A and B are shown apart, each in its own frame.
Chain A
Amino acid sequence: MCLAIPVLIKSIEDKEAEVKIGGITRRISLWLTPEAKVGDYALIHTGYAINILDQEQAEETLRLLKEIAEAEEKD
């Protein structure tokens, strides 16, 4: 029920944004994420952006997991 999916914000008008989900354009609410910008990836839950995803943190996590995978391969 707490399902939220990452979507790219295409455009913003007032407290609404246009996003594409699986090829379909939808309007979502930005009431909970006034900081949202065009080009951000937002976590969408029941038609609301509940958070803006942090690209740097995502890359950092993947870099860490890659290091683990490389270290484990050597062992």
Chain B
Amino acid sequence: MKFITEFRRSELAEGLISQIHRKSKTPVRFMEFCGGHTVTIFRYGIRQILPETIEMVSGPGCPVCVTANADLDKAIALSQIPEVIIVTFGDMLKVPGSHSSLQKVKADGADVRVVYSTTNALEIAEENPTESVIFLGIGFETTAPTIAASILQAEERRIKNYYILSMHKLCPPVIRALLDSGEVKLHGLICPGHVSAIIGSHPWEFITRDYGIPCVVSGFEPLDILQCVDMLVAQVENGESRVEIAYRRGVRPEGNREALKLMEQVFEPCPTEWRGIGEIPDSGLKLRKEYQHFDAELAFDIDPGPTYEPEGCICGDILRGVKTPADCKLFGKVCTPEYPVGPCMVSSEGSCSAYYLYGGDFEG
């Protein structure tokens, strides 16, 4: 058992596909919240293989895509301070802010470094004691505990020149905001697998209780997605709405208690702005009072100036599941992965990037 190839076996996929076709009678729209799921669905042509009764829409589950321009502008403003090293995951480099991107300011001489893990960011801080190292904290509940762990390690190792810019976002509140807006009608939700590895499956129960929408937590291999769709179809056809886990090897109902404990120790919920969606209460994370000396926004005085969105870009509508990349005039013409205009084309998990790489459901 290596936990990868076993979940790509075509003969098992055929069984699931056959069962889904046989059982699915009611026309439904399912949303895959997570950008990682979007990639699996496109890479394996899952949309095309499902019966016509099932429409799939992509959700806002890509942390790079939903980072507000104002936050990106803050990161860029921080990079202009002398003796500051900006440390980030590579995903953020090409995202255009209001006036520039981290890649552009890096080319112009700002010290912007890409790391794979916060453990590398701590090493950079230790190696450069006279400089201030600011880590760009983006990500959902999957990533936030790793940032919390880095803060606790910085304390333990007495690293005084490590800061974070907290742009973390929480998934359940944005799903509630989407459902409350009534813009997109859903009959089932594919819940994010690795967010659920941390928070468990219980935090999704409000979706079944308050909105009557079936929820299934999925893994990221093609069999995981097919099994998840099969379970959603079964719930719809039986008139049920429950939270189920199709990714039992990776997700426990109670989540990862140690990770949740560290996250709660370091962070507390706060309102935050989502690109294309707006401000949502308690959907962000800020450092608790005891850890505020790690907060880059409090430690440095910056004025990022006014923000603006690129003209013609409909990433906001795409993130809400209201439009698809096929509706965008810029898609594939002005906006490509090499020269992205909007964040959904930058991130490999953005809807526009997935459409561009694997072909979407363009009709004429």
Contact = CB atoms under 8 A, between A and B. Distances in A.
B12 A33 contact: no
Given A32-B259, A47-B118, A2 B146 contact: no
A65 interface: yes
Interface in B211-234: 220, 223, 227, 230
A50 B256 contact: yes
A53 interface: yes
A54 interface: yes
Contact of B143 (A35, A43, A45, A65): A45
Contacts of A73: 15
A69 B11 contact: yes
Nearest to A64: B227
Interface residues of A, number: 38
Q: Is the interface of A mostly helix, strand, loop or mixed?
A: mixed
Interface string B96-116: 000000000000000000001
Indicate the size class of the contact surface on chain B.
Answer: 35 or more
Nearest to B263: A32
A50 B259 CA distance: 8
A46 B256 contact: no
Contact of A45 (B11, B91, B146): B146
B316 interface: no
Contacts of A60: 248
Interface stretch (B124-132, B173-181, B193-201, B353-361): B193-201
Contacts of A50: 142, 145-146, 194, 197-198, 256, 259
A10 interface: no
A13 interface: no
Given A32-B258, A33-B258, A58 B6 contact: yes
Contacts of B259: 32-33, 50
Contacts of A70: 15
A29 B347 CA distance: 26
Most chain B CB within 10 A, of A4, A53, A61, A71, is at A61
B194 A71 contact: no
Interface in B3-26: 3-4, 6-7, 11-12, 14-16, 18-19, 22
Given A29-B117, A43-B197, 14 more contacts: A1-B62, A1-B64, A1-B138, A1-B140, A2-B140, A33-B256, A33-B258, A41-B2, A45-B146, A50-B198, A51-B250, A51-B251, A60-B248, A61-B227
